[in-house]
Amino acid sequence: MSLDYFIYAIGIKSINAEETHTTIDISGFARGMYFVKVKNENGVEVKKFIKE
């Protein structure tokens, strides 16, 4: 299974992952609201997260 992760804050990070579980290091991100777009063979899902 192949997953594509995109974190949106004006295109801040794009990751191509080959695993179903992937950890994304956001320690260098500024505080704020971000959107993660996950794309796989079943479709696309967008989630929001807030880094405090």
What is the pLDDT, as a whole number, of residue 16? 76
* pLDDT for position 26: 86
Confidence band of 12 (pLDDT split at 50, 70, 90): low
Stretch 34-52: mean pLDDT: 85
Closest to 6 in 3D by CA, of 33, 51, 44, 52: 44
In this predicted structure, the answer to whether residue 8 has a pLDDT above a threshold of 70 is no
Instruction: Give the structural domain span for 47.
Output: 3-51
37, 8 contact by CB (below 8 A):
yes
The number of distinct structural domains making up the chain is: 1
Instruction: Please list, in sequence order, all residues whose beta carbon lies within 8 angstroms of the beta carbon of residue 42, skipping any fewer than 6 positions away.
Output: none
